[in-house]
Structure formats: C-alpha cells, structure tokens
Structure 1
Amino acid sequence: MKKRVRMDDLQVFVTTVEAGGLSAAARQLDISPALASAALQRLEHSLGIRLLVRSTRRLRLSDDGERYLPHARQALDALVDGEMALEQARAELAGPLRLSMPSDLGRNLLLPWLTEFQAEYPRLDMRLRVSDQVADLFGEQLDASIRYGLLGDSSLVALPLAADNRRTLCAAPSYIARHGAPQTPQALAGHNCLRYVMGEQTHDRWSFEDAGATSTVLVSGDRCSDDADIVRRWAVAGLGVVYKSRLDVLEDIRAGRLVELLADHAGQAAPLQLVCAHRQSLSPAVRRLHGFLAQRLQAYLA
C-alpha cells in the first residue's frame, strides 16, 4: 500500500522544479538542503516513481515527473485557496453579535463554547444577555436567542440545536438517602420540590408521559427562584427534587451528583433552539454560530 503524500513534500518538489535546483529551493523554503533532499526522496517513495533525474550538474524532470507536476501544483493551489476561503470567512464575521441565553445552560455549558467561537472569529464583538426570562428579540435588538421549548410566535425563525431534549426529574443521592425516591409522579406530593419562576408564574405543574398517557402533578416545596442555575445548585446540595432540562443536569448526572428518577416516565419536551426575529436576522455570524453549537451539542450528548 502506498503511503499518503505529505503536502510539505509536494511543496519541496514544485519549488525545486521552479527554482531550478535543490539548493535554490531549500533557500526559498528556508530549510537545509538535506531536509529538501529527504522530502523529495520521501515523496518519490510514497508515489513509487522517480520524479527527478539527478546528474552531477542538475536535476531534470523524469517523464513521470512531467506528468505529475501539474497535479502537484493543483493540489498546492487548492490548499492555498482553502486557506484564503477560511481567512475570508473569518474576516466576514465581524462586529457585534447580540445573543441571549438561559442562565444555567449559558453559564455552565455554553459560555466556554462561546469563548472558543469568539477566539476563532476574533473580530466579533460578543454581547451576552444571560437570563431565564424570555428575551424580546425586537425590543432588545438581539441578533439571536438560545431558548428552550416550542415557539409560540410563528413569525420567529427557529434553528434546532437539541431537538430531542426533555425535562427530567432528579435528586441528589443525599436527598434520596434521607427521603427515598418517588415511584410515581403522584408521589411527588410527599417531596420537597424545587421550583423556578418565570415572570410572575411559578412552574409548579410538572408533566410526565408514560405509555402514551400524560399526567400533570401540582408540586410544592420550600424554595423557588427565577434563576434556574440556583435551582439546580439547590438540588445538587440535596435540598429537594428538581425537574429541569436534561441538558442542564447532564453533567451532574454523569458525575453522580444527581440521580434521574422515574426513568419510565418521560419528562416534558424541551427542545433547544437558536431563535431569530426574522429570516433577515440569519447573518453569516448567526448561521456559523448555529452550526458551531449544534456540532458541540451533538458531541456532548453522544
């Protein structure tokens, strides 16, 4: 089996031909003649042919070398074109990118990824709004919002990030050791349920699906907050049972800080989406961000 050709060896070959000799090529490429010679030999070995015929005075192309040279040039040109395309794409992503995201997911999962994204496109000016309140895309002049749930306003444009995400019921091992684990949704009436508030509404009706049937239970507890990150932290501290997006608690579940409960009952659907006010808001930066986050989330959930 032939070995894979290295692009730097191709560059030595093409430069040697264009410079008229190995020493001249080595000077142009700022490498030693010995390294240039080794690159040519490696390339010929990979291809299984003789590219250059060496004499005491000069190098000349062999018949195979003549045939191969235009393809080598084309490969190097394609590489340069690819690098230029990337540079152009980076140059296009410039200026402010105004984005809102939920508190728990934003702080603990998305923020490092957004830092990575901005490092890749340093001309972007990232402006983040971190809140569990539904952002006003028009009034707050946001480019996009990362949201849970299905859209109520059909005029908005939603790009899926984690379409199959659901809420899940969890508690810390320490809480389960003290109070036991509920065996049915109705048993939640005997547990301290940690709730969150959005606007003036306390989310105290938790829905579950089992064998195609949906049951909704009214829960209560001694704590509620308008910050979902705080609610999750209470749960990790063993202070009660929590019903949250699985994306929010997945790291805690994997680390053993939280345990999923009622495994036979699916929680409410909570798809994660990147939402824009209208199609004109789908700028190159927003589209690139969507692809970037979708890829990261797919790997995270795998």
Structure 2
Amino acid sequence: MQLSQLVVFAAVAETGGFRAAADRLGVAPSAVSHAVAALEDSLGVRLLARTTRSTRPTEEGERLLARVSGPLAEIAGGLAEAGQGPGDPGGPLRITLPLLAAEEVIMPRLRDFQTRYPKIELDLRVSDVFQDLVESGCDAGLRLGESLEADMIAVRATGPRRGVIVASPGYFRAHPPPETPAELTAHNCIRRRFDSGRIYRWELEHAGRALSVEVRGNLILPQQRLIRQAARDGLGLAFLFEDAVADDLRAGRLIAVMREWCPPFDGFHIYYPSRRQMRPALRAFVDFYRLR
C-alpha cells in the first residue's frame, strides 16, 4: 500500500498539482488526495505544502523524494521492459552528462542509435553537476574518466582529449603571446563557471610539474562553445579542448600557445554502478557508444 502511495506522492511532486498527477496516473483527483493524506498520516509528517497556486514538497518531502525517486524509476523501467527479449531492448533510459559530451559524443550518432533501437526512450539530462545515479534515477552517465568514482564501471567512449590555450590573431597583435603560466597574469583570460558555481582553474603540466592556475579576466561564460566564440572575437585567451577548435586552428581564426604546458586528459567514459544489474536498454547504449 505504501509503495502505491509513494508513486502517487512522486507524481504530485513532479507535476506540481493533484489534478495533473491524477491525469498522469489515470485516477480521480480524490484518489490522489486520499493516497497522499494516508502516506502523510502513516509517516507522521507533512510531505506537501499546498497553496491556492501551487503544490510543492516540504523539506521532509524533498528528503523522501531524494531516497525513493531512483528506486521508483528502476521499477518503472523494469515494468516497461517486462516481456522484452534481449534482442528487443526498450523502455526509458536516463543518462546524465555535460553539454560537451552530448554535443560531441551522443548527437553525431543519435539518429543511427534511435533507428536501431526505436523502443528505447532516451532521456538526456544535461548538467555539469555530478549526480548520484541511484538518487537521481539515472541509469548511467558520461564524464571524463579522471573524474569517476572508484566503485563505478567505466567504459571508454572517446580517446584522450587535449586542452589548448588559444586566442585570435587580433588579440595577439595587441598582446604578446604568453610562454609560461606566470605570464598568463598579464592577459585577459576567458573563464568558465560550472553549473555548481565553481570557476574552472586551468590545469597545466610540463616536465612532470602539474599546476592548477587561477587565471583572471573580465568575462566568465558557462560553456565551451560560448568561450570559443568569444576567443574568435578577440576577447581574450581561452582554454578549450583541441578537437573543439581544430577547424579554427587550421583556418587561422585561432592561434595556439604554450602547447608544451597543455597535457592530455582522459577521455569521456560511460559509467554506471557496479552493483546494478544491466538492463537490455543500457547494454545496447553502452555497446553502441563505446569506443571501438
């Protein structure tokens, strides 16, 4: 009984209202209200704060959602795949990943993936913030290999990536190119702020000496593609993945400096918890996007 009440509570929290949850679940609004009230009575806490305009989880409701949303998503995925054979994967598949991985790894081959697996409902959740896969209800994620936890199974999706410090020819006509990290202080550097609020410190290395450099500049942007455009417009130095600016380097729109200080990074990996039984949809995704 409590399991069904949890499903109703989660639907109300996700849709923001009792009537919307009733429409999603295909039941009467009164049944939704009764299920939530019964769950609150059994737990002895208020789970939803109701006003005339909105319905949102209380602090206790948020804590409960954080613990049950993952397992509920697993149950939904299992039911969706019930009766499917290993050659016919389908159902929801939730992947957390940064925008760069979505643009460079997933999107170029997405048409082929969906043509091959039309029954898989791929849900890409794009964020730079690391999410707990179980609590978020995600099946897997894509991240740089050096960022992964030790208890994750990781499958390589790309080869190593190299960073590169670049600026436009116009910028270098007005500013002498830097040759060492110390000389970066004399330059306007385009910085990047992650979704978490953290500003990226440029990771440099030369002859076994690793540095994490807090650069300065009058422009902060959230994504590499915006930083690339700003660098092309002559607004400062940028630290980007070399693959992302390869065309600009060949065309002379950007010029690379301090290459000997720019080490390779471990590439993107698909990761998922080792304790989780692999569903057919996840197996299909991993096999399709793994590096060959």
The TM-score normalised by the length of structure 1 is: 0.59
Partner SS, residue 113 of structure 1: helix
2:176 is the counterpart of 1:171 = no
Q: Which residue identity lines up with residue 201 of structure 1 in the other structure?
A: R
Q: For the Cα contact (< 8 Å) 1:170–1:242, is it kept in 2?
A: yes
5 Å-filtered alignment, 1:73-84, equals: none
Give the aligned partner of residue 273 of structure 2: 277
Match of 1:218 among 211, 214, 219: 214
Give the aligned partner of residue 197 of structure 2: 200
Q: Shift in Å at residue 292 of structure 1?
A: 2.9
The TM-score normalised by the length of structure 2 is: 0.61
Match of 2:289 among 288, 293, 299: 293
5 Å-filtered alignment, 1:64-79, equals: none
Q: For the Cα contact (< 8 Å) 1:208–1:268, is it kept in 2?
A: no
2:118 is the counterpart of 1:122 = yes
Q: Which residue identity lines up with residue 165 of structure 2 in the other structure?
A: L
2:183 is the counterpart of 1:187 = yes
Q: For the Cα contact (< 8 Å) 1:105–1:247, is it kept in 2?
A: no
Seen in structure 2, the aligned counterparts of structure 1 residues 101 and 229 have a Cα distance that, compared at 3 Å, is farther
Q: Shift in Å at residue 166 of structure 1?
A: 3.2
**CA-atom RMSD, angstroms?**
2.7
Q: Shift in Å at residue 152 of structure 1?
A: 5.0
Q: Which residue identity lines up with residue 213 of structure 1 in the other structure?
A: R
- Cα shift readout 1:230-274 (whole Å, capped 9, x = no counterpart): 223322333221223334444544554433321222336243111
Structure 1 segments unaligned to the other structure (5+ residues): 1-87
Q: Which residue identity lines up with residue 288 of structure 2 in the other structure?
A: F
- Cα shift readout 1:98-128 (whole Å, capped 9, x = no counterpart): 1122113423553131232112211111111
2:116 is the counterpart of 1:92 = no
Give the aligned partner of residue 7 of structure 2: none
Partner SS, residue 175 of structure 1: helix
Give the aligned partner of residue 158 of structure 1: 154
Seen in structure 2, the aligned counterparts of structure 1 residues 104 and 271 have a Cα distance that, compared at 3 Å, is closer
- Number of aligned residue pairs: 207
